[in-house]
Every structure is written in structure tokens, then in C-alpha cells.
Structure 1
Amino acid sequence: MFLILKSLHLIAMVCWFAGIFYLPRLFVYHAMSDDKLSQQRFVIMERKLYRGIMNPAMMATWLFGLSMVLSNWQIYKSQGWLHAKLTLVVLLTIYHIICGKYRLKLVDNPHLKSDKFWRIFNEVPVFILVAVVFLVVTKPF
């Protein structure tokens, strides 16, 4: 059962990160768009991505991840790398929520931030992904 949970956790995580990487990229294009039709198209794309893919993938990632941890709590409770990973996943969840808030603000103000801001903003989850993968694979502490 553990390997099934782990597989489902990884699948959900990959889907979540796909959305986490793509939504801010849509924000870049949204900020660069000048015509109303393009801006409306980006609003629809961003909403469908956030609500239809990212939210369910985030919830599934948390569900399957916590299921694995709770099923082996006696082993995991003293694993420092897991505590660090969970802290990073909480930060990623906060980033996800911030993306949702920005998505709503872009509906009324497509030029809320510059495309350069969104390009930099888009890099934040890369650092989290790299750190999480190294923690899970190497279990340094």
C-alpha cells in the first residue's frame, strides 16, 4: 500500500508543479497583452489551470503525502529531512495561494505587475523543487 501512496503522491506532485510553473508564465503573457480579447482569454486559461488542475493536484499531493507520513509516523517523526521538506511544501502552498490572489487581481488589472516581475516570480518554485528533491533523495539529516 505504501508504494501505491508514494506513486500517487509523485503523480500529484508532478501535476501540481506543472501548474505552478505554467501559471506565472501565463501571467507574463497576460501582462504583455494589450487587447481586451487576449486579456479575457488569459483570464479563462488562468482560472481553468488554477481551479481545475493546480488546486486538485495540490490537495492530492498533500493527501497522499500525509497518508504516507501518518502510516509510518514512528519512523518519520524523528527524520529531520522530512521536517525540512514539509516546511518547503508549506512555503510552496503559500506560493500557490499567492498565485491565486494574483490571478484574481489580474482580472481587473492585467498590467498589475510587469512581465519582468512575473518572470522572476516564476523562478521561486524551482528553488523549492530542487531543495525538496535533494532532501528526499539524500536524506541528509
Structure 2
Amino acid sequence: MSDTLALAYPWVKSLHIMSVIAWMAGLFYLPRLFVYHVEQSNPGDSRDTVFQTMELKLLRVIMNPAMIATWVFGLLLLFTPGIVDWGSVWPYVKLTCVAAMTWFHHWLGRRRKEFLNGRNTRTGRQFRMMNEVPTILMVLIVISVVVKF
């Protein structure tokens, strides 16, 4: 198995990077959709329905598959011999940040359901602030993986 992973490494790494890009795009865009949803519609109006459709499609068609693919290819990289130095700090920082990003993904999913049920209590400003979470996590992940401290 480890020989296969070593041979497949460039492909797995490529697929992991593409999955991360798709997931991050959704993590950046969904909170922005929530901002517009809060500020430009009311529960039950036509815009509310359009925003709900956009949010659902983004989450289910792009973000969920991208998150799963990111985790699958990331775990394959994790088990590829010689890739991770467990004596360093960086793999633990990355894993912690990816877990936080996964939590944030699910937090967004719960917010979507609040919009669906007409129960959103958050403001556009709050969603704008939450939109910074994936950026901070991305910076920490990239620095930890590239610098390998």
C-alpha cells in the first residue's frame, strides 16, 4: 500500500490542492451570500427563495463534495511515507486548522437551515466578520505546510 501511495503522490497532491481550492471558494462565498441574503431580502419574498436556492446548491453541489475530497486526499497524503514529519509542529497546526475549517463548514450549514426556516437572527455585519474565519485558517495552514516549522 505504501508503495502505491508513493507512486500516486503527485496525483493525490494535485487532487488535494484542487479540492482545497473548490472548498475554500465555497467557504469564502457562502458567508457573503448570507450577507446579501440578510440585507436584501425578507423571509418568504422572491429574493429569499433565490438566495436559499443559491446557498443550497453551493453547499450541496460544491462545498460538501470538495470538503470530502479534501479530507480523503489529505488523509492519503498523511499516510504516504516520508511526507509528514510528526516530530515537527506543522502537521498538528494544519490538522487543528483543518478541523476548525470543517467545524466552520458545518456552522455555515446550520445557518443555511436557519434561513430556510425563517429563523436567522444574525446581521450582515456578523456574517462579514465570520467571513474572515476561513482566511485566517488558510493563512495558518499554508504557512505551516510551506514553512514546516
TM-score norm. by structure 2 comes to 0.88
Supply the distance in 1 between the matched residues of 2:115 and 2:82 (Cα, whole angstroms).
42
Question: CA-to-partner distance for each residue in 1:104-138, whole Å, 9 max, x for gaps?
Answer: 00112265211111111111110000111111110
* Structural RMSD (CA): 1.5
| 2:61 aligned with 1:72 | no
Paired residues of 2:84 and 2:91 also in contact (CA < 8 A): no
Q: After alignment, is 26-35 or 76-85 more displaced?
A: 76-85
Equivalent in the alignment of 1:17: 24
Number of equivalenced pairs: 140
TM-score norm. by structure 1 comes to 0.93
Equivalent in the alignment of 2:62: 53
5+ residue gaps in structure 2?
1-7
Supply the distance in 2 between the matched residues of 1:132 and 1:31 (Cα, whole angstroms).
30
The one-letter code sitting in structure 2 at the alignment partner of 1:136 is V
The one-letter code sitting in structure 2 at the alignment partner of 1:130 is V
The one-letter code sitting in structure 2 at the alignment partner of 1:65 is G
The one-letter code sitting in structure 2 at the alignment partner of 1:25 is R
Question: CA-to-partner distance for each residue in 1:44-92, whole Å, 9 max, x for gaps?
Answer: 0000000110000000000001001112278543332111101100000
Q: After alignment, is 107-116 or 68-77 more displaced?
A: 68-77
The equivalent position to 1:7 in structure 2, one of 14, 21, 24, is 14
Equivalent in the alignment of 1:113: 122
Supply the distance in 1 between the matched residues of 2:83 and 2:131 (Cα, whole angstroms).
37
Equivalent in the alignment of 2:109: 100
Pick the structure with more helix per residue.
1
The equivalent position to 2:146 in structure 1, one of 97, 121, 137, is 137
